[in-house]
Chains A and B, each alone.
Chain A
Amino acid sequence: MGLSGIEIFKKLPKTNCGKCGVPTCLAFAMKLAAGQAELDACPDIPDDVKEEIGEASAPPVRSIVIGTGDRAVKLGGETVLFRHEKRFENPPAFTLLLSDNMDETKIAARLKKFNDIVYERVGLVLRPGLVAIKAESGDASKFGALVEKVCNETDAGLVLMNEDTDALSQAAGSCSSRKPLLYAANKDNFESMGNLAKELSCPLAVKGSNLEELSEVSEKLIAKGLKDLVLDSGARTAKQALEDQIIIRRSALLKKFKPFGFPTIVFPCEMADNLMKETMIACQMTAKYGGVIVMSEIEGHSVFPLLLASMNIFTDPQRPMAVDQKIYEIGAANETSPVLITGNFSLTYFIVSGEVDSSRVPSYLLIKDTEGLSVLTAWAAGKFAADTVATFVKKSGIEEKVKHRKLVIPGYLATISGELEEELPDWEILIGPREASHLPAYLKQWKI
């Protein structure tokens, strides 16, 4: 952060050529300062100036990309400590650990599961992020062979774990175009690791045995000119890891402490002896600042809950809690489709529409403005009273869309059905289930 719009403006070409998409250099500078534009939009800034501005306007936790193409994983770029302050930017990458000591069938099975798992939810694609390959055999050729195999079998980004620079260099050389994360530079090998990462232009993990050592090695690598670092504080207990993650993030944000201004890599796989417990620790890291989260296994039942947690924690807190009042068409609804009504609390909408969708019965969902309140609260507050519901139904235009006159109301509001029938004499009021999860069964039996 740091540079003001005016300070940035002074460094721009001042030709007001408009190629950046805004009419003047000043306007562009203001956008840059507000984080609403990318420096690259202006083609005429000399490289050295670009670097200077980029550095000064960069977020306190640097953004790092591991991998390429569709499967590139972006980490860091964070600007706050708590999610309600401003959106957390880049969710963690749940990472599958493979070792060159594992037998081949195990590797194949785990890799297949890793590749297969992908979920879609509220328009987001959720999937595990990276594959980490760890040298444990001590045999450089075995390590290299595994790296090659994984490269062939997945497009996902990689973490290459080998603290022997020569062996790592051999394996990484052939796949450096995939931008793997090299793991790791430590106090002894940082010179050669630093050189290798520079030569291959790959991101580099830095490992210390504690925060003190980590900051020293990180600082030396920065001095060597390395830019894309990922931090491992060496903590291998839940308590120590929590403390370190908090201190790293706070140091970067509050103290602008450069050696800690990077995303982190953490190892739940080394902190538990079973996947259930490991998943709990990974969840902790999801809430508290983990970047690359390395897991011994990726199973649907473990990674799905983790991905939900990360989706929740990284949701934009400014996202409104209410959706618009209108008719929502779910599936290819027609004039005989069921008509349901509920409130406009976004969660209500999300849950109900999800259930209707999963019933595979195309339906019309009427969402009434309840000022973002859930149905029961809305009813208690007079926002789901029969008269206002009736007015909305009449004005919504649903009467032109369906030829029947049956309206399904939430089971919790059975009490208003009598009144509602008086207000809507043409309509038959049906009492739906109380829990959205019973909607599919209910809808499957629906007849006009």
Chain B
Amino acid sequence: MTFEIPKVSYTGKIREIPLGREGKTVIVGGESCYPFHLFEGEMPNPPKIAMEVYDSEPEDWPETAIEPFADVIKEPAAWARKCVDTYGAEMIALQLAGTDPNDKDLSADEAAKITKEVSDAVDVPMIVLGCSNVEKDTDVLKAVCEVCDGRNLIIGPVAEGNYRAIGATAIGYKHTVVASTPIDINLAKQLNILLGNLNVPDEKIIIDPSTGALGYGLEYCYSVMERIRMAALIQEDERLQFPIISNLAREVWKTKEVKVPESEAPLLGDIKKRGILIEALTAQCVLFAGADILVMRHPEAISLVKESIKDLMTGK
């Protein structure tokens, strides 16, 4: 018996999307194969990691996640600079969690002001994410689009309930949108169609099919991402041929297991390394499912994932 390599013949390709302002763009997407299946296709733009910055001081983070940012945690712009200068962030993801009406309820104007400050402080591509409240996000993201005119931010979540208002504003100010849907390939496709009908250009769409943390529903998201990639690459489903973003750090760092100290749960081992690995492994899983942009928090988790991406690309 002689053995031959059974290769998949891909007929589709993921769109390449340029992110960030002119002269400083980072391109994501462009794959013509399943993740890291480099023996049968190409990944011209390896996945990128966006480091989280919050609009206001986070209240429920474990000490292990605060520590790397302790000196800048009250100042979003300084925080973003630290991510870029100290930790080499390829992108920034500004989480406007404080705009949540059930949280600090920061106004659209306050959020826009913070966004502008952060955007002025760094020149890497910047993702700006609202609090997932359909109405509030509409107000906030519209204001954000306006003050950062021309910077090609990546704004979201743009959902079924507010895609028209946010989509139209994003077109006007030339930003990219994150089309977010709850763990369902058909809903993901449907929203992309709606955005297309609204005339959001195809090179301005990134998709977010939802993410769960390791041990908390990761499997559903993993499979939806895998299926989206299959549809895009094998079934040539054009409305799914977009890069995928995974907003994972938020999910990981709210779980019980990153917060329990070793003294209370000795079998779970070192709390710091455990948190880092839970974040890094969640990232590793979504990378193999097809994610192009990972929104991450801990610098050591990020280094691990970067190294893994490099090894998988270069074969070191």
Q: Would A347 and B268 be within 8 Å (CB), given that A239-B315, A380-B134 are in contact?
A: no
Which residues of chain A (353-409) have a CB below 8 Å from chain B?
Answer: 354-355, 358, 373-374, 376-377, 380
Of the candidate stretches B76-84, B141-149, B240-248, B272-280, the one touching chain A is: B272-280
User: Chain B, interface size: which category?
Assistant: 35 or more
**Interface code A181-224, partner B: CB below 8 Å = 1, 0 otherwise?**
00000000000000000000000000000011001000100000
Q: Would A280 and B284 be within 8 Å (CB), given that A116-B267, A242-B36 are in contact?
A: yes
Within 8 Å by CB of B269, from A258, A301, A317, lies: A301
Given the complex, which residues of B lie within 8 Å of A90, measured CB to CB? none
Given the complex, which residues of B lie within 8 Å of A215, measured CB to CB? 1, 3
Is there contact, CB below 8 Å, between B1 and A219? yes
Is there contact, CB below 8 Å, between B281 and A305? yes
A313 CA / B289 CA spacing, docked (Å):
11
Is there contact, CB below 8 Å, between A301 and B3? no
Within 8 Å by CB of B312, from A238, A306, A438, lies: A238
A258 CA / B1 CA spacing, docked (Å):
9
Instruction: State the main secondary structure of chain B at its contact with A.
Output: helix
Given the complex, which residues of A lie within 8 Å of B86, measured CB to CB? none
A304 CA / B284 CA spacing, docked (Å):
15
Is there contact, CB below 8 Å, between B277 and A302? yes
A307 CA / B103 CA spacing, docked (Å):
34
Given the complex, which residues of B lie within 8 Å of A312, measured CB to CB? 214-215, 218-219, 222, 285
Which residues of chain B (217-254) have a CB below 8 Å from chain A?
Answer: 217-220, 222-223, 226-227, 230, 254
Interface status of B257 (Cβ within 8 A of chain A): yes
Within 8 Å by CB of B285, from A119, A242, A287, A437, lies: A287
Given the complex, which residues of A lie within 8 Å of B161, measured CB to CB? 380
Say how far B134's CB is from chain A's closest CB, in angstroms: 7
A301 CA / B274 CA spacing, docked (Å):
4
Q: Would A304 and B314 be within 8 Å (CB), given that A243-B39, A311-B215, A312-B218 are in contact?
A: no
Given the complex, which residues of B lie within 8 Å of A239, measured CB to CB? 36, 38, 311-316
Interface status of B153 (Cβ within 8 A of chain A): no
Is there contact, CB below 8 Å, between B273 and A276? yes
Given the complex, which residues of B lie within 8 Å of A46, measured CB to CB? none
Given the complex, which residues of A lie within 8 Å of B267, measured CB to CB? 116-119, 300, 304
Selected A-B contacts with CB under 8 Å, 20 pairs: A82-B223, A82-B226, A84-B227, A237-B311, A247-B6, A259-B1, A276-B277, A280-B307, A283-B285, A288-B288, A302-B273, A302-B277, A308-B215, A309-B285, A311-B215, A313-B222, A350-B216, A358-B256, A414-B102, A437-B256
